[in-house]
Amino acid sequence: MLDAARTATGLLAVSRDLAMQMAAMGMDEDKITLHYTGLDRDRFRPLEHTQLRRQLAGELGFAMPDNAPLLACVGALIERKGQAIAIRALKEIPGARLVLIGKGEDESTLRALAASEGLESRVFFAGSLDHDVMPLILSAADVMVLPTANEGLANAWVEALACGTPVVTCDVGGARELISCDTAGRLVERNPQAVAAGVNAVLNASPPREAVAALTEAFSWDANAASLAAHYEALLAG
C-alpha cells in the first residue's frame, strides 16, 4: 500500500478519519483528497406514506405497529457490525421492533440470541433486500442502529440520514463527521446499555425528518462525480 501511495499522483479518502489513518501509515498527506461517497437522492429521501409500515409488514411478514418504535440495522451479519449488541439493547427499549437487513455467518448465532433473550417476536431477519426496498424500511424506521466496531464512512449511515432517520452508532471511522449533532442521532459506547440509552434519547426527542435529511444535502452522485472529475483534472493539469 505504501509503495502504491508513493507512486500515485493523488490519493482519495472517504472520510477525514481515514485520511488521518493514511497519513499515520506514512502516506503523503499533501496527496490525500477527501471524497465522500455518493447517494441517489431521488431514491433515498423521507417517504411520508401513511401506510408505509403496514405495507412493509404485509410484504415481509413482520409486525410493525405504528405505536411501537421501529429500529433498522443495515449491515452484514458479522460480529464487527454489532447486531448482537442491538438485540440485547431491545430489552431496555420498551416495545421496540428491530429489523436486521443483511446476511452473514453470524445469522444462526443471532437467531439463537434473540430466542434466548425472549425477543424472538421483536427481531426480524430480513436478509438481503432489493435496493428499492431499503429507502422504504429506512423511512419507516424511527432509528437506524449500528453498533459497529470499525467503519470508513458507512453507506448505511448516509442512506438512513437521507431518509430522515437519525442514526445511533459508535464513534468509529467517519461517524463523527456525519453524527455531528443531536438532529443526526447519537454516538455511543459499544455496549447494549449505551445503545439503548442513545436510542431512547432519540425516541424521546425525535427531530423533524426533513431536518435530518437536510444534513446529507452535500451527498449526491452529481456532487460526487463533479468532485471526482475536478480531482482527476487537477492531477492531469499538475
The percent of residues above 70 in pLDDT, for the chain, comes to 100
pLDDT computed for residue 176 by the predictor: 95
- pLDDT score of 218: 87
pLDDT at 49 over 80: no
pLDDT band at 130 (very low <50, low <70, confident <90, very high): confident
Q: Provide the pLDDT for residue 71.
A: 98
Model confidence band, residue 78 (pLDDT cutoffs 50, 70, 90) = very high
pLDDT of residue 220: 86
The residue-averaged pLDDT of 183-207 equals: 98
> What percent of the chain shows pLDDT beyond 90?
86
pLDDT, residue 204, reads 97
Can you give the pLDDT at residue 24? Answer: 96
pLDDT tens, position by position, 3-19:
999 999 999 999 999 99
Among 109-113, 142-146, 178-182, 218-222, name the one with the lowest average pLDDT: 218-222
Q: Taking residues 230-238, report their average pLDDT.
A: 90
Mean pLDDT of the chain: 94
pLDDT at residue 45 tops 90: yes
The whole-number average pLDDT for the span 121-150 is 94
pLDDT for 103 equals: 96
Q: What is the pTM of this model?
A: 0.91
Q: List the grid coordinates of 177.
A: 463527521
Asked if 97 and 71 touch (Cβ cutoff 8 Å), the reply is yes
Mean pLDDT computed over 129-143 = 93
* DSSP secondary structure letters along the chain: -HHHHHH-S-EEESSHHHHHHHHHHT--GGGEEE-PPP--TTTSS----TTHHHHHHHHHT----TTS-EEEEES-SSGGGTHHHHHHHGGGSTT-EEEEEB--TTHHHHHHHHHHTT-GGGEEEEES--TTTHHHHHHH-SEEEE--S--SS-HHHHHHHHTT--EEEES-TTHHHH--STTTEEEE-SSHHHHHHHHHHHHHTPPPHHHHHHTTTT--HHHHHHHHHHHHHHHHH-
Domains along the chain with CATH numbers: 2-38+220-237 (no CATH), 55-214 (3.40.50.2000)
Rounded Cα distance, 116 and 99, in Å: 18
| Closest-CA residue to 203 (of 146, 175, 158, 165) | 165
pLDDT band at 131 (very low <50, low <70, confident <90, very high): confident
CB count within 10 Å of CB 102 equals 20
**pLDDT tens-digit readout, 152-188:** 899 999 999 999 999 999 999 999 999 999 999 999 9
Those residues whose C-beta lies under 8 Å from the C-beta of residue 113, and which sit 6 or more positions away, are 84, 87, 88
